[in-house]
Structure 1
Amino acid sequence: MGLKQEQRVRDFCQAWGDGTAGSRPAVEDILAMLSEDAVWQLWVPGGPVIRGREALRQEILRQMSYVTHNLCTIKHIVSSDSVVMTERDDYAVSGGKPMPHSMVAVFELDEQGLICAWREYLDTADLAQKKGVPLEQVGGPALA
């Protein structure tokens, strides 16, 4: 129960990159694993919500303009037939600054096995500090 869904999420995480300088997210592969009306909340609570495959494409490309070295390392994964949760240690470089961070992500999958909702729970204050952003700006444009 849930193993097929877990594999979808493992493939999804792997498609973001291998952590090397030359590695880039496989945008078309990522999008192919999402439903047409997929929703991504960039961080919970309070983060922006991106709706629809084309808007998701634009958000991924926007992030690719300033983030490199993406790597998602799954520490734990639990699943059912419609929900997969991961505890991860993610890594990226943003504006030349290493941005390692831990997070929990919740993925909802539809009957076709496509990701239709995706929420990431992470410490935005930690990321802001690593970027040198004043903590009072966290929750606004601090992570952009």
Structure 2
Amino acid sequence: MITEDDKIAVVMDMVDAWNTHDWDRVANLFAEDGVLHSMMVDPVVGRDTIGARISHLGEGIEEITLRVRHVGVIDGVVFIERVDDFTYHGHSGAVPVVGVIEIGEDGLITEWREYYDRAQLLGAMGLAQDFDASGQ
């Protein structure tokens, strides 16, 4: 049975994968039918689709550091409060984020929900329109 500490370790592995630009590892931490859902846009479903999205986004990321402020487990679900510092195509910014992560017994992420100010993120990225709408 997966423990709370195991679940936190999976999430911290994800943080490390982002911080080291290891986009394959980001995708491989998701279950085959996993879901990545920034709550203000449609969810991205399936490990391969998540991998393609993250790899494409990662092409523009020059630097990124996910600074974890708090992480814990409530009712079997991991909650992480963090600030994402990044440089994307020469534009630098910092965006506060809360992630809510469900992890299966196999230690893979079944659903990762992200809550943040989308307009703040897009402005910091220097984008005039949402990359979900423009395909950027």
Q: TM-score interval w.r.t. the shorter chain? A: 0.7 to 0.9
- Secondary structure at the aligned position of 1:85 is classed as strand
Following superposition, the deviation at residue 140 of structure 1 comes to: 6.1
Q: Any unmatched runs of 5+ in structure 1?
A: 18-22
Aligned positions, number: 134
The match for 2:14 among 12, 15, 32 is 12
2:95 maps to which residue? 101
The normalised TM-score by structure 1 is: 0.81
Aligned residues: CA RMSD = 2.3
Say yes or no: does 1:141 pair with 2:116.
Answer: no
Following superposition, the deviation at residue 82 of structure 1 comes to: 3.5
* 1:124 and 1:139 in contact (8 A); partners too: no
- The more displaced of 74-83 and 31-40 is 74-83
Matched ranges for 1:42-57 at <5 A:
43-45=38-40, 47-57=41-51
What is the CA–CA distance in structure 2 between the aligned matches of 1:64 and 1:32, rounded to whole Å? Answer: 15
* CA deviation map 1:17-52 (0-9, x unaligned): 2xxxxx5x21232233211110001x223x131111
Q: Any unmatched runs of 5+ in structure 2?
A: none
**Quick one: percent identity of the two aligned structures?**
25
1:38 maps to which residue? 34
2:119 maps to which residue? 125
- Secondary structure at the aligned position of 2:18 is classed as coil
The normalised TM-score by structure 2 is: 0.85
1:110 maps to which residue? 104
What is the CA–CA distance in structure 2 between the aligned matches of 1:102 and 1:129, rounded to whole Å? Answer: 14
